[in-house]
Amino acid sequence: MRTFPALLAGLCLAFDASSAAAQNLVIGKALFDSQCSSCHGQPPRLVSNGARAANNASMIRRAISGNSGGMRYLSTLSDTDLSDIAAYLGNYTGVPSNSATSSERLFNWAEWKYQSLLAPRATTQSISQYAVRYFSGSGLYVGVAGDTVYLYDQNNPGAGVNSLGSLAGFLSSAANDGF
Ligand code: HEC
C-alpha cells in the first residue's frame, strides 16, 4: 500500500492551483457574525441600500472605502472575505448550520481561523481513508481520518504526516467560533 505522503505527492501534481475556490457561505457567515453583526444584526439588517450588498462584494468594498457608518476600519478584509460575506448576504437562510460533515466543518473553520497559512482556499479531496485539503500557497495538507486531524508539509517531507490532535477537540473550538 502506498504511504500517505506518496499519495499526497501524486495528488499534488493533479491539482490546478489556479482554479478559484467557490464562495464559501459558512465562512461568509462567520465573518459577518464577527465583523458586521454588531452593527447590522443577526439575521442581517442592512440599512439604506444595504440589500444590494447581497452577492455584490464591490458594494461592500465601496461602503468600507467610503467609511459608511464608520466602516473604514474594516478595510483589512480581503476580496475573498468580502465575496464570501456578499454570498452569505445573498443566501443567509441557506447556510447549513453545522450540518455539513465533521471534516468539512473542520476544514471550513481552519481556513477561516488560519487564513494566511491555509490559502488559497481549497476543495476537499478524498485520498485513501483521508479527507484532505491541499493549500498550494503554503504547501500544507490538512487531512482527517477517523477522529484524528493530520498535517503534512510538502516543504518538509522528512517530517512526515503528523497528528495534530483529535477531530472532536478541534470541532469544539470550531463550534465556539460559530462553525
Ligand atoms: C461600526 C458599525 C458597523 C459595522 C461593524 C459595519 N457596518 Fe455597515 N454600516 C454601518 C452604518 C451605520 C451604515 C449606514 C451608513 C450610511 O448608510 O451612510 C452602514 C452601511 C452599510 C452598507 C450600505 C452602504 C450604502 O451605501 O447604502 C453596507 C452594504 C454595509 N454597511 C455592509 C457591511 C458589512 C458587510 C459589514 C461587515 C464586513 C459592515 N457593514 C460592518 C455600520 C457598520
Q: Whose CA is nearest to atom 18 of ligand 1?
A: 68
Residue 16 has pLDDT above 50, yes or no: no
Ligand 1 touching residue 46 (CB < 6 A): yes
Q: What pLDDT is recorded for position 91?
A: 84
Burial 66-87 (b: 16+ CB within 10 A, else e): eeeeebeebeebeebbbbbbbb
Ligand 1 touching residue 75 (CB < 6 A): no
Ligand 1 atom closest to 36 (CA)? 37
Distance 89 CA to ligand 1 centre (A): 13
Residue 22 has pLDDT above 70, yes or no: no
Residue 10 has pLDDT above 90, yes or no: no
pLDDT classification of 49: cutoffs 50, 70, 90:
low
Ligand 1 touching residue 68 (CB < 6 A): yes
Residues 52-105: pLDDT tens digits?
899 999 999 999 999 999 999 999 999 999 999 999 998 877 766 565 789 999
Residues 115-171: pLDDT tens digits?
889 988 888 999 999 999 999 999 999 999 999 999 999 999 999 999 999 999 999
HSE toward the beta carbon, residue 102, CA cutoff 13 A: 15
Residue keyed to cell 490532535: 165
Q: What pLDDT is recorded for position 175?
A: 84
pTM value? 0.65
Other CB atoms within a 10 A radius of the CB of residue 146 amount to 9
Domain-wise residue ranges, the chain:
4-19+97-176, 25-90
